[in-house]
Structure 1
Amino acid sequence: MANASAKLIQSLIGSNKVAVFSKSYCPYCKLAKNVLNQAGASGKAVIELDERDDGHLIQNELTVLTGESTVPQVFINKEFVGGGTEVEKLHETGKLQKLLSNL
């Protein structure tokens, strides 16, 4: 049976077109959120891990799920697409808009 953090992650990824696991003070997280906003990403869930008592547990589960230990971790259409610089590159190449248009 999956733990509460894993269930929360799967629920957020599964029920939102875009899910962003972030920390409020992180510059790469701000970059990812700004790029997604510029690209018109609607229906997105943003989870600020530093504002939650269980944030460290969620981040540990994300590391198991994606192999990445840093934030942000961005999921589009239930797929992990990377962090801030990856989202920015997707936007610059036009691939982000294609991913978002498939929502």
Structure 2
Amino acid sequence: MLRLLTITMALFAVAAGELSKTKEDKTLKDLEDKIVNDIITHKVMVYSKTYCPWSKRLKVILANYEIDDMKIVELDRSNQTEEMQEILKKYSGRTTVPQLFISGKFVGGHDETKAIEEKGELRPMLEKAHALFTNRVPVPDNGA
């Protein structure tokens, strides 16, 4: 009887562990889906940390442009910072911040963005993504 109880408890523990793992996997999958959706949906997507000097510098660079659709996620304000950084690694190859995506493509961090800007390539990249207010398609005025 004691042996049966021990086996039953062991099976229950294994089952509970598997359920917990499944729930954790689902949560991570949901988080990854959210990150991917943000990267694809927003013309300019930035992953940053509020205290990071490189993140601050990247945001200063981007502030020089009238960006129409930009989302900034401050990873240090999340309770899933490490998980988010591991997910981002799949799409950028790195866990460090800042990370800049334009039109769903990883551009780089501060240093890469600064180099692109210094070569005069950042504005054209943002224009090609239709990410600037200045190159929005005008809406015809129907006299309304």
Structure 1 length-normalised TM:
0.92
Bigger shift: residues 75-84 or 37-46: 37-46
Larger relative CO (CA 8 A, sep 6+): 1 or 2?
1
What is the aligned-residue RMSD (CA, Å)?
Answer: 1.4
Q: What corresponds to 1:6 in structure 2?
A: 32
Q: Which runs of 4+ in 1 moved over 6 A?
A: none
1:31 to 40, 57, 82: 57
Q: Which has the higher helix share?
A: 2
- The alpha carbon displacement at 1:42 in A equals 2.6
Q: Does 1:67 align with 2:93?
A: yes
Amino acid at match of 1:54: Q
- The alpha carbon displacement at 1:14 in A equals 1.1
Structure 2 runs not aligned, ≥5 long: 1-25, 131-144
* % identity of equivalent residues: 33
How many residues align? The count is 103
Structure 1 runs not aligned, ≥5 long: none
Structure 2 length-normalised TM:
0.67
The higher radius of gyration belongs to: 2
Q: Which has the higher strand share?
A: 1
